[in-house]
Amino acid sequence: MSNHIIILSTTVNNPTDLQYVSQAMSTFPEIVEWSVDLEDCDKILRIVCENNIGDQLVKQLSILGMYTEILEVFDGNGNSLGPYNVMVAAKNL
């Protein structure tokens, strides 16, 4: 099975936010690896996974109070599966 790459913009700003992201990632066994670029202005979350779970990720991160937006999803051949405009605002905690 070939992997998908999901690129999301996030509101990750600090170690606590990273813990929430880690918690969300642990609920998806199909995730192979993930990383957050804290230097990027969009705090890019890059996920490599076995399936396109972008929508589920956005919902799970929203439950944990994170705002996310899917910027792009690529299939195992590097083809874009977009356009994407899926975003869910974080719940007011």
HSE toward the beta carbon, residue 33, CA cutoff 13 A: 2
Res. 89: pLDDT tops 60: no
pTM reported for the whole predicted model: 0.84
Residues 1-17, mean pLDDT to the nearest whole number = 89
Minimal CA–CA distance to 45: which of 8, 19, 91?
A: 8
The token pair that represents 46 in the structure block? 């890059």
The size of the chain, in residues, is 93
Minimal CA–CA distance to 66: which of 26, 3, 23?
A: 23
Cβ(24)–Cβ(59) below 8 Å: no
| Domains, the chain, with CATH or none | 4-88 (3.30.70.100)
Res. 82: pLDDT tops 80: no
